[in-house]
């Protein structure tokens, strides 16, 4: 298959990373990540404004995740023949419309519909963002490029949600979503001006076969990477979603914001370190991350002593912060053996599993908290982290090769 000059991949260009383009992609990641969890910080005001209970208002997070999980794979497959830049701009434009409708929603049903549409748009954007970063990077620096793009995730968790919560408390939840819409409008212009166009992924895979999900999962290493995603994200969400009750039980309720800030700072340090070394030592980094997460959550399960909790928060952040970069890099490399379209299908599957694990983690963590207490929540997270560690250790050949 030949390509026209407009479809040629720019990643073979010499030189350093295309920083303006990668930072634009990272901001898109930040905005879509922030918006998924923003309702958690403005829940009381949202519920009161729409005349529903907090539990009903909380479903705005669930429907967002559902929109992403249900549509990421079919949309990625359906758009495999579409050039990446107009597709990304289109997805972010739909996200802008949906988020603006969320901010202006006159009724609960409209809010849920808008949140579902925002999740659909975000899922499509997420399915192509890592691959986009990989394609515009110089050869040999693909992992670093993905690391820069994925910086938006820990920044959203550690800084974005608290900032959105502050805006919501001062001027209302609608203003918080309105601020996200303004940021989305700005990033649309940024992407248009600084992100180079890349051609569509190959419409056909190896041997002339279009790379559907089943064939992509059959590529050696892809299934193991996706199992690791499900285990790791489920374990993280189980404990992160209910960290506030855990900290209250441990006597650190008034310091919840500070503990989460320590977690967020460690996450940023992790993604910086992973970004520097992901192209040379991906296996060692993934093993270290899974081990640190398991150790941290096991410590939380054993004791709520304040020094241990603080240390565990830092270790947890160090183990978790680089995980999105490492897992997306691993999925792209494993599936990429069958071409760019297979790599994008694997990324879409990763996005789907990621959001499904987040939704399941919220439900499972709540059940564990109600029935068995905070210690059981942390212990379950540690068990899932240990299982992920075993899968990574066993994936030396195809899923997590190297040192």
**pLDDT number for residue 44:** 74
Whole-number Å distance between alpha carbons of 206 and 311 = 48
Place of tokens 């304040």: 306
User: How far apart are the C-alpha atoms of 152 and 143, rounded to whole Å?
Assistant: 15
Closest by alpha carbon to 67, among 145, 127, 128, 2?
127
Residues 17/138, Cβ–Cβ less than 8 Å: yes
pLDDT of residue 40: 67
Distance CA 348, CA 340 (A): 12
Q: In tens digits, what is the pLDDT along the chain, a chain of 403 residues?
A: 333 333 444 444 445 889 999 999 999 999 998 888 788 667 778 888 999 886 678 778 778 888 988 888 888 888 888 889 999 999 999 999 999 999 999 999 999 999 999 999 998 998 888 889 888 988 878 878 887 887 787 777 666 766 776 777 788 899 989 999 999 999 999 999 999 998 766 544 444 445 577 888 889 999 999 999 999 999 998 888 778 788 888 998 888 778 877 888 898 899 888 888 888 898 999 999 999 999 999 999 999 999 999 999 999 999 998 898 899 889 988 988 887 778 878 888 888 888 888 778 877 877 888 888 889 989 999 999 999 999 999 998 888 987 6
Burial (0-12, 13-18, 19+ Cβ within 10 Å), 195: buried
Please list the alpha-helical segments (H only) found in 79-221: 84-104, 108-135, 142-150, 152-155, 161-171, 173-194, 213-218
Distance CA 205, CA 259 (A): 47
Residue 203 has a CB neighbour count (10 Å cut-off) of 13
Angle between helix 142-150 and 19-37 (nearest 10)? 40
Range 58-78 burial, b when 16+ CB lie within 10 A, else e = bbbbbbbbbbbbbbbbebbbe
Reported pTM: 0.77
Q: How many CA atoms lie within 13 A of 98 on its CB side?
A: 24
Burial of 193 (0-12, 13-18, 19+ CB in 10 A): exposed
């Amino acid at each position: 298959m030949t390509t026209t000059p407009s479809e040629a991949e720019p990643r073979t260009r010499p030189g350093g990373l295309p920083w303006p383009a990668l930072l634009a992609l990272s901001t898109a990641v930040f905005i879509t990540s922030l918006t998924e969890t923003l309702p958690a910080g403005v829940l009381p005001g949202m519920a009161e404004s729409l005349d529903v209970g907090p539990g009903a208002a909380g479903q705005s997070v669930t429907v967002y995740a559902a929109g992403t999980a249900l549509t990421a794979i079919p949309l990625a497959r359906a758009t495999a023949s579409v050039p990446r830049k107009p597709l990304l701009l289109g997805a972010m434009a739909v996200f802008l419309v949906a988020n603006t409708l969320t901010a202006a929603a006159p009724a609960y049903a409209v809010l849920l519909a808008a949140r579902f549409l925002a999740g659909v748009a975000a899922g499509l954007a997420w399915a192509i963002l890592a691959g986009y970063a990989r394609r515009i990077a110089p050869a040999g620096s693909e992992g670093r490029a993905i690391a820069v793009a994925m910086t938006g995730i820990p920044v959203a968790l550690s800084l974005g949600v608290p900032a959105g919560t502050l805006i919501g408390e001062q001027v209302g939840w609608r203003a918080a979503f309105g601020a996200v819409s303004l940021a989305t409008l700005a990033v649309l212009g940024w992407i248009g001006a600084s992100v180079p166009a890349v051609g569509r992924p190959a419409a056909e895979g190896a041997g002339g076969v279009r790379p559907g999900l089943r064939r992509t999962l059959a590529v050696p290493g892809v299934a193991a990477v996706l199992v690791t995603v499900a285990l790791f994200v489920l374990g993280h969400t189980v404990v992160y979603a209910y960290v506030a009750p855990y900290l209250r039980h441990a006597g650190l309720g008034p310091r919840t914001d500070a503990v989460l800030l320590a977690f967020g700072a460690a996450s940023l340090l992790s993604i910086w370190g992973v970004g520097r070394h992901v192209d040379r030592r991906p296996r060692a980094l993934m093993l270290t991350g899974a081990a640190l997460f398991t150790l941290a959550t096991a410590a939380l399960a054993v004791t709520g002593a304040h020094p241990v909790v603080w240390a565990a928060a830092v270790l947890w952040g160090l183990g978790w912060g680089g995980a999105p970069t490492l897992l997306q890099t691993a999925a792209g490399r494993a599936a990429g053996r069958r071409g760019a379209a297979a790599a994008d299908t694997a990324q879409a599957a990763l996005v789907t599993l990621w959001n499904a694990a987040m939704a399941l983690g919220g439900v499972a963590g709540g059940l564990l908290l109600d029935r068995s207490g905070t210690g059981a929540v942390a212990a379950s997270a540690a068990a899932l982290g240990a299982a992920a560690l075993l899968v990574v250790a066993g994936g030396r050949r195809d899923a997590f090769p190297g040192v």
